[in-house]
Structure formats: C-alpha cells, structure tokens
Amino acid sequence: MTGVPTGAGDLVLLDVFGSPFAQRVRIALAEKGLAYERDEQDLAAKSDLLRRSNPVHGKVPVLFHLDRPICESLAILHYLDEAFPATPPLLPPATDPYARARARFWAEYSERLHLVGKRLWLRRREHAGDGDEDEDAELEAAREEMAAVMRALEGELGGREFFGGEAFGYVDAAAAPFAAWFLTYERHGGPRIAGEFPGMAAWAARCLRRESVAANVYSPEKVCELVQEYRQWLLTRK
Ligand SMILES: N[C@@H](CCC(=O)N[C@@H](CS)C(=O)NCC(=O)O)C(=O)O
C-alpha cells in the first residue's frame, strides 16, 4: 500500500470484458501502469467468489488488493488513486476539494449515458412510427433525455481535450467506456452526436484512440453487433 506499483498477483480484478463498469477499472489500471490479473466472471452462473466478495450487489467489477475486495467501479478508481499515490492521479489533487467534488459529480452523472442509452436500444421495436403510440412517445422522451445528458456533459467539457483538462482524468475514465456506445445510441433513435454535440463526438474519438481505452473496450461497431444479439435474445425470450 505504498504507492509502488505491485506485482500482478497483488491486484486481481473480477470482471466481464464487455461490462462498462469493469472497463472503467481496467482503463484506470492501464492509465496507472498497474499490473493485475483478470478473473473473467460468468454473470449467468455467478461464482462463490463473486457472491462472497460483493455480497450486497453480486456485481462486477470487484478488485482484490492484497486479498481484500473493493466493490463499485467509482470507489475502485478512487481507491487506486489513494492506494497508489506514485502513479498518475485520476482525481484532481486533495488540495483542491472543490475540483474533486466536481469530478465525482460528473463521473456519477456519466452513468446517465448508460441508463438513458438502454431506454433507446432496449425497446421491443427497432423503429418508431409503426403503430405503437406509447412506444413512440417513450422513444421521443428517451431521445430528448439523451440530448439533455449530452448537452450537460458537453457544457462541463467546455472545449477542453478531456474532462480532466489536458490530462485524461477521473471523469474521463468513468465515462470513456460509454464513448464506444455512442454509435449504438444513434442507431437506436438517439441524437446525431457528431452533428449536435461535436465536442462530445471529438472527446469520444480522442478517448477511443487512447491506448488504455482502445485495449479495454469493444469497438463501436462491435458494441452495436453485441447489443443487437442481446436484444434479439432478450426480446424473443419474452
Ligand atoms: N454501480 C456498479 C454497477 C456494476 C454493474 O452493473 N455490473 C453489471 C455488469 S455491467 C453486473 O455485474 N451485473 C450482474 C447483476 O446485475 O446481477 C459499479 O459501478 O460497479
């Protein structure tokens, strides 16, 4: 716990490659240059280890550091900053509590992308306008909410390279996994991101080019493909 990068055995991550919450942690570990072991989980048949280490939620990611589990992606990112102070920080410095509080706010807010995104792609029908007025109204509401989320994030980004300024930081690590989902949001009725939110589109492209992100998320096309498969499976099950 001294800030010296550890051997891979000291850090073990229970994760699922495609989980955007687990991706946050892998991105942060990559940014910090920390070696770790991955333990891919099967969420359809949860292991005793996952249940024991995250008894409240039973979700990934869980990071073990020296055999002690830490749950919740944002808590893990925070922990990594504190436990490994010699590595590149994600949060603003402790001498700037205001900037830290602000970063925590926007990191949490970035989850709106995922929640509202689901309302776009997890609908029964692929397209609006073929007869179900309730579904059309829900699609329109979700599209508007996604536009509001993008607008708010773009306002916070404020023309900077990253939410962390010139450096990729805590909000960037928290939100970057969702950058790979922008294409899916668009294809399922969301706003045209490049046209309406050029700042967010440029930020997403910047993130996806970054090694820590590119190595740890699926490509936007692959996300679309997997979402389509998942949707089919889910909708035919009902
Ligand atoms: N708030 C949690 C969310 C984690 C989460 O939703 N993980 C999903 C995978 S993307 C999961 O493990 N789901 C299993 C379940 O819900 O039982 C975090 O930030 O870590």
Residue holding tokens 């994030």?
Answer: 153
- Domain boundaries 8-83, CATH class: alpha beta
Nearest CA to ligand 1 atom 17: 59
Q: In what order do the strands lie in the sheet with 37-40?
A: 37-40, 11-15, 62-65, 68-71
Tell me what percent of the residues of the chain surpass a pLDDT of 70.
92
pLDDT band at 5 (very low <50, low <70, confident <90, very high): very low
* Cα–ligand 1 centroid distance for 121 (angstroms): 18
**Tokens coding 198:** 């050029």
pLDDT band at 141 (very low <50, low <70, confident <90, very high): very high
The set of protein residues with a Cβ atom below 6 angstroms from ligand 1 is 16, 19, 21, 43, 58-61, 72-74
- Bridge partners of 40, per DSSP, are 15
37-40 and 62-65 as β-strands: parallel, antiparallel, unpaired?
unpaired
Q: pLDDT tens-digit profile of 89-138?
A: 999 999 999 999 999 999 999 999 999 999 999 876 666 666 678 888 99
pLDDT number for residue 8? 58
Closest residue CA from atom 14 of ligand 1: 59
Q: Where are the domains of the chain?
A: 8-83, 97-237
Whole-number pLDDT of residue 237: 78
Examine domains 8-83 and 97-237 and report if their fold is the same.
no
Q: What is the pLDDT of residues 18-43, one digit of tens each?
A: 999 999 999 999 999 999 999 999 99
Tens digit of pLDDT for each residue in 50-95? 999 999 999 999 999 999 999 999 999 999 999 999 999 999 999 9
pLDDT at 135: 82
- pLDDT tens per residue, range 185-210: 999 999 999 999 999 999 999 999 99
Q: Which two tokens stand for residue 80?
A: 């990594």
Top-level class of domain 97-237: mainly alpha
- pLDDT confidence of residue 123: 79
Output the CA 74–ligand 1 centroid distance in Å: 12
